[in-house]
Structure 1
Amino acid sequence: MAASAKTLALGNCSLNGEWTVVERRRGKQRRYVPRIKLPEVREAWTPADANVDTERVSTLLQMLETCIKRMENSQFYQCFVEQIENSETFNCFHRVLGSESEMQVVVYGIGSIDSYETPRLQLSLLLLMKRKFSWIGGIEVFDPILSATESRVLQVLGCSVLSVNEQGRRCALKPTLFYMPHCEAELYDNLLHANQEAATLKNVVLFGNSFETYEEYASAIRNSSIVHSAGHILALRKFTSEYKIQIVSDDSFKAFHDSSWHFFHQCA
């Protein structure tokens, strides 16, 4: 697969958001070619539960502080920081930052931090990154299931809650870390579709499910539904440098198993 100076080629495309099966000559195996999806309209969003429970805000903040302390003292966190600080990974961050001093952070699909421990662990890790690294900039968060109470907690913790459902289609006009542990493949795919031009793809750092695993799974079962939901992931795999996260405890497994850092580059 080749890339132009402006756009990474995804194969023969049309504009109806579907997939076409292309038969190869002389009986060779058929292949699936992604067709460019039409962009969907961004939707204004407000929490379905519009009432803020101030008592619950206080309780949830205490729960998160406990979770942050436990995460900070864990072996998983020490390994996580060491991986970011090693020369190979840090050089990837540095290359994305370029002349910028900070990297904006966008969080999609965090889940309910009130109802489940896994989202609290994932948020705790990000907040610790913000404390640890001066180049981590402002944090924007969105998940359609967030309540007004959870949104208030996030604001108290220094995060901004988006009022629009971008459906993962944020165009990275500047260095941006997309923090998306355990999201659906479609959300990663929407993000890559929005940033398939080389000018924006180079600004993307993605923390989320391993693209290598998606590729292995798609190859092993040859399931067209996997190809459909992860088409841009698979198409851009050759332009991706991936660094898998080391899992060293049951808590970290539940919240971060099969997670990786993904950085993107273009080929001549």
Structure 2
Amino acid sequence: MGAPVKNVSSDGEWTVVLPSKRRQGRRKPKPKVHEEEEEKPWKSDDLEVDPQRQARLKKKMEISINKIESSKFYTALIEQLKSPEVSDQFRLVLGTETQLQMVVYGIGSLESYESPRFQLSIAILMKREFDWVVNIELARREALKPTLFFMPHCEANLYNNLLQANWRMDRLCRIALFGNSFQMYEEQVTVDPEVIRATKRIIAARKITSEFAIETVSDDYFPAFHDSSWHFFSSGLDSELPLLVSEGS
């Protein structure tokens, strides 16, 4: 998943604060100290198949998928994706291809938390809704073909690494990215050198990025999708990538 930002938290990760549900206004992603999770640490014997555990998780996912599918939030999301301004962006990403690969990162514990289940539910439902979305997988790759990167609430350095791996217009124009708002990162420019390093390409890419904010509609989905946006990268003739002095960092 790429090297984490150092010296930001006790375990070396840089991530995003989940605001409270009190209001749904757009908020800025911030560095935070990694919170302790409810689940137990992974152990090697977790590789053993537990049918009852699998059944419980499957049931939880079915409940989440059904809840999302019948929600006003999902209806609004699909309407946004089918709107001319957003669907045109996807057509530009597809180019002459007929299918868009989906790569999924940053999904948290499906057993312990509802928000990750909601996030994965959206990815699954999108694959069902659109026949041009294929190949959901927990991986990252260079965009050699049109690819949807589904990265809800990932650490800033992961978006940065994805951009670095594809830092050329003939690759970026093949990418549709669902993740933290790049605009929010730009608005939160700091003097911290580690944060600057983690967001360098995010900020640099802003001038070639078309961003469409997600409306969470109800409090139920605010923790899972707040400050999330669709991002598309311009392939116009006047599009130029910023030259970054330090390519290795």
When normalised by structure 2's length, the TM-score is 0.75
* Stretches of 4+ aligned residues off by more than 6 angstroms: none
Query: Aligned to 1:230, what secondary structure does the other structure show?
Result: helix
Structure ID, larger Rg: 1
The partner residue of 1:101 within 98, 101, 105 is: 98
Q: Which amino acid aligns with 1:60?
A: L
Provide the rounded CA distance (Å) in 2 between the counterparts of 1:256 and 1:248: 10
- Answer yes or no: is 1:192 the counterpart of 2:166: no
> What are structure 1's unaligned runs of at least 5 residues?
1-45, 143-167
Provide the rounded CA distance (Å) in 1 between the counterparts of 2:163 and 2:43: 27
Aligned residue-pair number: 195
When normalised by structure 1's length, the TM-score is 0.70
- Answer yes or no: is 1:234 the counterpart of 2:203: yes
Query: Aligned to 1:67, what secondary structure does the other structure show?
Result: helix
Q: Which amino acid aligns with 1:190?
A: N
Deviation readout 1:88-114 (Å, 9 max, x if unpaired): 000000111112111000001111111
Identity %: 50
Q: Which amino acid aligns with 2:181?
A: S
Q: Which residue of 2 aligns with 1:259?
A: 228
The partner residue of 1:130 within 124, 127, 132 is: 127
Provide the rounded CA distance (Å) in 1 between the counterparts of 2:106 and 2:49: 21
Q: Which residue of 2 aligns with 1:120?
A: 117
- Answer yes or no: is 1:215 the counterpart of 2:186: yes
Higher strand share: 1
Q: Which amino acid aligns with 1:214?
A: Y
Q: Which residue of 2 aligns with 1:76?
A: 73
Pairwise CA distance, 1:205: 0.8
Provide the rounded CA distance (Å) in 1 between the counterparts of 2:85 and 2:137: 27
Query: Aligned to 1:114, what secondary structure does the other structure show?
Result: coil
The partner residue of 1:243 within 212, 217, 227 is: 212
The partner residue of 2:138 within 141, 145, 151 is: 141
Q: Which residue of 2 aligns with 1:175?
A: 146
Deviation readout 1:148-183 (Å, 9 max, x if unpaired): xxxxxxxxxxxxxxxxxxxx5x21100000000000
Q: Which amino acid aligns with 2:145?
A: K
Query: Aligned to 2:138, what secondary structure does the other structure show?
Result: strand
Pairwise CA distance, 1:62: 1.1
Q: Which residue of 2 aligns with 1:87?
A: 84
Provide the rounded CA distance (Å) in 2 between the counterparts of 1:83 and 1:189: 26
The partner residue of 2:49 within 45, 52, 76 is: 52
Provide the rounded CA distance (Å) in 1 between the counterparts of 2:204 and 2:83: 28
Query: Aligned to 2:162, what secondary structure does the other structure show?
Result: helix
Query: Aligned to 2:144, what secondary structure does the other structure show?
Result: coil
The partner residue of 2:63 within 49, 62, 66 is: 66
Provide the rounded CA distance (Å) in 1 between the counterparts of 2:218 and 2:58: 24
Q: CA RMSD in A?
A: 1.6
Query: Aligned to 2:102, what secondary structure does the other structure show?
Result: strand
Q: Which amino acid aligns with 1:202?
A: C
> What are structure 2's unaligned runs of at least 5 residues?
1-41, 241-249
Pairwise CA distance, 1:47: 8.3
